[in-house]
Structures are given as C-alpha cells and as structure tokens.
Amino acid sequence: MHAPIVFVTDFGADDTYAAALAAACWRVDPGLTALAGMHGVPPGDVLAGAYHVKAIAQALPPGAVICAVVDPGVGSERRAIAVEAGGLRCVAPDNGLASYLWAESDPRQRRCVALRTPPEASATFHGRDVFAPAAARLATGHSLDDLGDPIDAPPRLCEDAFATTAKDQTELAGAVCAVDHFGNAITTVRAADLHGRAVAAVEWPGGATTTSVRTYQEIAHGLAVLTGSAGHLEIAARGRAAAAIGGPQPHDPVRLRLQP
Amino acid sequence: MHAPIVFVTDFGADDTYAAALAAACWRVDPGLTALAGMHGVPPGDVLAGAYHVKAIAQALPPGAVICAVVDPGVGSERRAIAVEAGGLRCVAPDNGLASYLWAESDPRQRRCVALRTPPEASATFHGRDVFAPAAARLATGHSLDDLGDPIDAPPRLCEDAFATTAKDQTELAGAVCAVDHFGNAITTVRAADLHGRAVAAVEWPGGATTTSVRTYQEIAHGLAVLTGSAGHLEIAARGRAAAAIGGPQPHDPVRLRLQP
Amino acid sequence: MHAPIVFVTDFGADDTYAAALAAACWRVDPGLTALAGMHGVPPGDVLAGAYHVKAIAQALPPGAVICAVVDPGVGSERRAIAVEAGGLRCVAPDNGLASYLWAESDPRQRRCVALRTPPEASATFHGRDVFAPAAARLATGHSLDDLGDPIDAPPRLCEDAFATTAKDQTELAGAVCAVDHFGNAITTVRAADLHGRAVAAVEWPGGATTTSVRTYQEIAHGLAVLTGSAGHLEIAARGRAAAAIGGPQPHDPVRLRLQP
C-alpha cells in the first residue's frame, strides 16, 4: 500500500495547477490515490505555508509525504529538497517551507537531501515536473537517497517562524503567521512556548485582549486568545473574523505578556 | 472495498482543516481513498449544510458515508451523532445537519447513535479528532453500534428546513436555504411539496416571478423558477446570479402560490 | 487498475456539484479513486475551459479520462460527446471544450462518438447524470463505442482558440484565454506558433511590453511575456496580477510582433 501524499501550495484551487500535481503523481503510478491538498496559501507567503505544513503534519499517519510548493523563485537557483523529519517526508523548495517540520523534530531522526531537477522540467512549473514526481517516488517506496544527495547544511528556516522571549521570560514576541477561513489570526507563538504560564495579555498594532478561552463558543464578545488545533495561540472573535472587530492582520507583530 | 466518504463542511478549501479530514481518515486506514468533499457551506450555516448533505446523498451509492461538519458549538456540550438513513451513514454534530437526510427517509430504516468524544480531542477541531475518525471506521466496515450508544430522541432538525402549507393548500411558505456558485437561489420548497400542482407565482421580499421553466437555457430574460437537481425549487436568472437582478438573498423567505 | 479521471468544470468548489461528480463515479464503481478536479473555469467560459483541458492533458498519463463540464446549454439540444485524442479520452458537451485536445492531436488517432443521454437524467445537471457516469465507464475499461455512435463531423471547435498569422508571418493575433490564480494572462498564442522566432512586442488594448523572460523571477519590473507551463505565451508581472499594472483582461485581444 502506498503512503498518502498531501499537497500544500499557493496555487489556488481554480486553476489546473493543483490538479496537475495529482496527474503528475499518476504518471509515476496511477495507483497513488491517497491524495489530498490545500492550495490556499497566500501567493508567495512562505511563513503561512510553513504553518500549514506543520498543521497537516499533525493529522497525518507516519510515513506520509507532504509536497509543499510555495515557490516564487521557480526556475532560479534556489535549491529543491526532500526532508525526513517527525516520521514524515516533505519535498519543497528550500525557502523555509519546512521550518516547523524540521525545527520541531528530533535532531537525531531528521535529514535532508537536495533533489535533482530533470533537464526537461518547465522553467515555470516545478510543482508538476520536480516536486510531485519526487513525492510520488517517496510514496511508492523510494527512500530520500534515491532522490538526491545528502546536504550538510540544514534546510533554510523562516526567520519569523519562531517567537522570541524577552524581559525575564515574562514577554513573548511573535507574529501572525496565518489567518484561517473563519478569520482567526494564528500566531507564531505556541502553547508550548508558555511553559505552563497563563497569558495575561496579547497586544498587536492598534489592539489588545486580556481574555483567554478554551473554545470559540466561550467567547462572549470582543476578541479572545485560545490555543488552536495545531498548538499555536490565535486571536479569535465569535462568529466572525477577528480583523472585523480590530484583531490583527496577516504578518502583524504580536506581543504576549505572561502571568507571573 | 471501502465505502466512499464525502465531507460537507464550512471549512473552506484554503486552510489545512479540510485536508486534515482526509489525513485523519488515513490514520485509521491509508486505504481509504474514495474521498471527496465540499467545504463551501457558509460559516456556521446549518440549514445550507443540511441542504448540501441531502444534495450529495442523492448522488452517492448505497452504504456511502457523509461526514458533515458545520460546528460553531465545537467543544461545548452539543452532542455528536452518527445517523443511518436512506441507505447511507452520516456523522455530524447534532445541530440539524442531518435534517433532510433523516426526515426524508423511511422511519423504519433509520437510526441514530451518540458518538463518544475521545478525551484527547482538541477543543477546537472535532472534525479531525471525532468526526473524520468515526466516518473512517464506518467506511472500513464498523457499524453504528461500534461508535456509540443508540439515542431515543431523533436528531435535532432545523426548524426552517421544511416549507409549510397555508390557505387551503394553495400557498407554500419557505426560505432560501442555499445560493449556488451560479447564483441560483435554492429554496426549502421541494417539487414534491407541490403535489403535482403548477406554480402560479413565487414572491420574496422586494421581488416576484410568474415564469416557470425546465432548464436554465429556457430563461429568456428576468427571473424564473425551476426544479433543481436535488428536487428543490430555485429562483434563477440566465448567465448570472439571480440576486444581481432582484432575486432573493440567502435566508430570505419565499412564498409560492399554486395554480388551482 | 482503473484509469485516472480529472474533472474540468465551472462548478466552483463551494457547492455540492463538484463532489457529486465523484459520487456519480462511485455509483458506477466505488473503486474509482484516482480522481482529481479543477472547478474554477469562469462560469460558462468555454474557451478558458478548453485551455484548462489542454493544460491538464499535458500532465496526465496515457489512457486517462478528462470529464469536462462547462455547459450553459444543459437540457437543450446541444450534443454530448466522448473524444479519443492524444492518447487520452474526454467526455464533454459538444461546445468547443475539446478544441485544443482535438486540434492538436494526430488526425489518424482521434475519434468522436455522441453520448446517449439517459431518459432519467436531470434537466439541469448532466455532469452528475451523463458525463461523470460516462467518464467512469471509460475509466473502468469500456471503449468509446460502448458509450454511443461515431459521428462524422468533428467536435465543435472554439473559434477564438487559435491565433492567426498576418503581415507576412511577422504578426500573430490572439486573445487572453485564461487568467491564472497568480494573475498571469495566458493567451491563445502558443510558443510553437512562433516557429522559432523571438517576440519583438506584445500589444493589447491600452498596453504593451517588449520584455521577454524565461522565468517569473527574471521580471525586474513592469510586464513581460514568457512561455507558460502548457506552452502558451502569457503576460506576467512579478509577485502580483498582470492586470494590476496595466496587463490585459480576460478575453482581451493580443497582437504579437515577431523579430525578423
């Protein structure tokens, strides 16, 4: 049985690009039918893509393959890689898409190879011609070593992906890494970054909240902070987008004050 | 061979949420590959969700599983259920999503169990942690009884899902339950509710039509009423959204006068 | 093993219509699991649909099936067809959706049959009741001849699908056939139409460019022309939609001057 493949791209679902990834897998093996995808990463937004790679990784069974393509540098000299980390495999351009997957996995059980680009690949569509075929080969039983040579340096990481601690560990500084379909503003601050301490306040340009909740249903009015399903803190309103009532915008910085 | 699973949600397709449902099924069994989904129910709109559950049910083969997640009350005390009706199975929060599926099926061949929620389920994402795994178990051969205990009361039904008859059966009162991609305003009035009588007029706040047609192509100009592919009456324009030329909005009430 | 099926429609992904195509295939055979789709053809835009049929055809393995449904004439007298061309099969209304697939394939290895419409088919949804079942039968091993009778005339072609040559072969006249998710304006002019000559300039109503590039990354500023992944010339900007800085709109005419 083949390993499942999930695509994470900024292609949108309204073009042929997303469907072409499935088609390219079927060129390798038409039996590859455990395929799913999210194609709504904002165009060129590598940080949002990295978050979504992490979020889908948490739902996947061991051995699954993520094919991540947010690739404004297609056709240029940027490297293409395949990563093994956290029990999963991920192919992607080497631009930070694997940031969370790499940084949050056991250093003794992760590795990275550089993919070979076939000379006949289109200059504008490596998703179809490089990444999907590589994902298909992994899903059908090939190992990372069949796809390319190990690289010494780790993959590139997004600078902004990880919240920083300041003021004697009572403050955390991060950013909004993704805004979901419901308008919840997901931040780079993870529940684990709190080390068990409670949130006193979250601030962003032009707004703040001191309300913490466990579920969306508990939000009586205004904005609140809660831990989303991938373990990141998010700013949410009830029944509408956080930004509609003063919540943060994509990529806005956020600052958390923790209770002592 | 596994039963097909179709997801009906308000997750949108641009987040990882929809793809995570497939991933969660693959955690149960990576051989579950007959998966499809529609994720465009307006956020929190249970009536629209109920209509789409019905519409997809009409296309599915017997034994298929619908995993419906429009769940503003996630993490609260609302019940999670699995329903068997009309030869299909459906897992959903108990908030009315199964209204049509339940009410339109043979009372002797339908039943309902309450799903158990695993203690480790995320407070904000029961789609991934409760509903998709339950759907996957049904699709791989488990019965409703393996998922939970039978409940005596029927599932909750949407109050607005069923048109009412008035004035000596010459009038029907309903509402717009969904507006499709082409802008056709689908109502809660079903062709079967007419009992063979023809429509004399349809009225809604600010507009009306007396034109009935069989196909979109027959609409010469203005608005017309026709029976859509799921058996519900809809208000349509030709080549554009009904609302663009005065047709009803989502959730608008509609009133039908029948020919004597 | 079954042949893959890809849907190309204008249904959008937010309705049940797209998912119903998969469901209808599973009525024929629930083992049909190599399914993908793009449902973002602008409503009723047959020329854009024809381009997307071509684009996905280039990614598919031999024997695959395309189920194309952009069908404003559903329920009227327009013919339904199945085409074999370029090693693929395609079912579609006979309105020009197969234009590129037919015209660009070897005349000795292409043919066309008229599909039979089952009497119980809905008047408004032949995708579910005619085209998807026909695609499913092809994918499970049936031949074109099992679906209908050969027709003598070729399928209808889109008039605007093919660029024309003028002025001693130094000018090409075409049009924008599709605008992709990134805002690149894809034209009906194919790289092959240049017969090896370089582009001197591209003009459209209100704008022009003399810059040719090979990758999006090479665009320093303004608009440029490059060959997209399906072999058509496109007008692109870097990091935003071409139309946002004066590029052509959908269906705008374009004129290419070639270098001598």
A84 pLDDT band, cuts 50/70/90, is very high
Which A positions 132-191 lie with beta carbon below 8 A of chain C?
none
Round the CA-based radius of gyration of chain B to a whole number and report it.
19
Of the candidates C137, C125, C130, C184, the one whose C-alpha atom is nearest the C-alpha of residue C29 is C137
* Contact state of A75 with C216 under an 8 Å Cβ cutoff: yes
The answer to whether A125 contacts chain C (CB < 8 Å) is yes
The answer to whether A214 contacts chain B (CB < 8 Å) is yes
The answer to whether C77 contacts chain B (CB < 8 Å) is no
Q: Which residues of C touch A18 (CB under 8 A)?
A: 38
| Beta carbons within 8 Å of C196's beta carbon, 6+ residues apart | none
* Contact state of A23 with C60 under an 8 Å Cβ cutoff: yes
Which residue of chain A comes nearest to C230, CA vs CA? A122
pLDDT of residue B145: 95
DSSP single-letter state for residue B212: B
* Contact state of B19 with A1 under an 8 Å Cβ cutoff: no
CA of A59 to nearest chain B CA: how many angstroms apart?
5
Distances (CA, A) of B12 to A182, B19, B126, C14: 9, 10, 16, 8
The answer to whether B20 contacts chain C (CB < 8 Å) is no
Mark out the alpha helices in chain B (DSSP H runs).
16-28, 46-57, 99-103, 126, 132-139
**A243 contacts A157 by C-beta, under 8 angstroms:** no
How many beta carbons lie within 10 A of that of residue C154, not counting itself? 16
Residues C3, C4, C5, C8: is their CA dihedral positive or negative?
negative
Query: What average pLDDT is seen over chain B?
Result: 94
C187: β partners: C176
The answer to whether C1 contacts chain B (CB < 8 Å) is no
Whether the predicted pLDDT of B226 surpasses 80 = yes
Which residue of chain C comes nearest to B14, CA vs CA? C13
Q: Which residues of C touch B88 (CB under 8 A)?
A: none
Chain mean position to CA A94: 13
**C121 contacts C61 by C-beta, under 8 angstroms:** no
CA of B56 to nearest chain C CA: how many angstroms apart?
6
CA of A53 to nearest chain B CA: how many angstroms apart?
8
Of the candidates C184, C188, C33, C4, the one whose C-alpha atom is nearest the C-alpha of residue C96 is C188
pTM: 0.94
CA of A44 to nearest chain C CA: how many angstroms apart?
8
Whether the predicted pLDDT of A74 surpasses 80 = no
Does residue A246 come out as left (phi exceeding 0), alpha (psi in the -120 to 50 range) or beta? left
Whether the predicted pLDDT of A169 surpasses 90 = no
pLDDT of residue B166: 80
Span B143-150, mean pLDDT? 94
**C98 contacts C90 by C-beta, under 8 angstroms:** yes
Span A62-88, mean pLDDT? 91
Of the candidates B102, B90, B105, the one whose C-alpha atom is nearest the C-alpha of residue B158 is B102
* Contact state of A27 with C59 under an 8 Å Cβ cutoff: yes
A233: β partners: A227
Which A positions 235-254 lie with beta carbon below 8 A of chain B?
239
Which residue of chain A comes nearest to B11, CA vs CA? A181
The answer to whether A83 contacts chain C (CB < 8 Å) is no
CA of B222 to nearest chain A CA: how many angstroms apart?
29
Place of tokens 């739902």: A59
Q: Please tell me the distance from the alpha carbon of residue C248 to that of residue A252, in angstroms, as a whole number.
A: 33
pLDDT of residue B22: 97
pLDDT of residue C78: 84
The answer to whether A215 contacts chain B (CB < 8 Å) is yes
pLDDT digit string, tens, across residues B32-51: 999 999 999 999 999 999 99
The answer to whether C126 contacts chain B (CB < 8 Å) is no
Of the candidates B87, B152, B139, B167, the one whose C-alpha atom is nearest the C-alpha of residue B113 is B152
CA of B11 to nearest chain A CA: how many angstroms apart?
6
Which residue of chain A comes nearest to C3, CA vs CA? A30
Q: Please tell me the distance from the alpha carbon of residue C224 to that of residue C237, in angstroms, as a whole number.
A: 7
Please tell me the total number of residues recorded for chain B in this structure.
260
pLDDT digit string, tens, across residues B75-134: 777 899 999 999 999 999 999 999 999 999 999 999 999 999 888 888 888 999 999 999
Q: Which residues of C touch A11 (CB under 8 A)?
A: 181
* Contact state of B181 with C43 under an 8 Å Cβ cutoff: yes
**Smallest Cβ distance to A74: which of C13, C40, C216?**
C216
How many beta carbons lie within 10 A of that of residue C201, not counting itself? 16
Q: Please tell me the distance from the alpha carbon of residue C148 to that of residue A173, in angstroms, as a whole number.
A: 66
User: How far from each other are the two terminal CA atoms of chain A, in whole angstroms?
Assistant: 52
* Contact state of B16 with A8 under an 8 Å Cβ cutoff: yes
Q: Which residues of B touch A181 (CB under 8 A)?
A: 10-12, 14-15, 17, 43
Span C255-260, mean pLDDT? 93
User: How far from each other are the two terminal CA atoms of chain C, in whole angstroms?
Assistant: 51
Span A210-214, mean pLDDT? 95
* Contact state of A19 with C13 under an 8 Å Cβ cutoff: no
How many beta carbons lie within 10 A of that of residue B104, not counting itself? 16
pLDDT digit string, tens, across residues C159-170: 899 999 887 789
Tell me the helices (H) and strands (E) count for chain A, helix number first.
Answer: 6, 15
Whether the predicted pLDDT of C235 surpasses 90 = yes
* Contact state of C13 with A16 under an 8 Å Cβ cutoff: no
* Contact state of B215 with C24 under an 8 Å Cβ cutoff: no
The phi, psi pair for B212, rounded to 5°, reads: -115, 135
**B117 contacts B130 by C-beta, under 8 angstroms:** yes
* Contact state of B215 with C124 under an 8 Å Cβ cutoff: yes
The phi, psi pair for C217, rounded to 5°, reads: -60, -25
Q: Please tell me the distance from the alpha carbon of residue C218 to that of residue C226, in angstroms, as a whole number.
A: 10
Q: Which residues of C touch A125 (CB under 8 A)?
A: 228-229
**A68 contacts A49 by C-beta, under 8 angstroms:** yes
Query: What average pLDDT is seen over chain C?
Result: 94
Of the candidates B8, B12, B129, the one whose C-alpha atom is nearest the C-alpha of residue B58 is B8
CA of A120 to nearest chain B CA: how many angstroms apart?
31
pLDDT of residue A76: 72
* Contact state of C14 with B38 under an 8 Å Cβ cutoff: yes
Of the candidates A51, C16, C40, the one whose C-alpha atom is nearest the C-alpha of residue B228 is C16
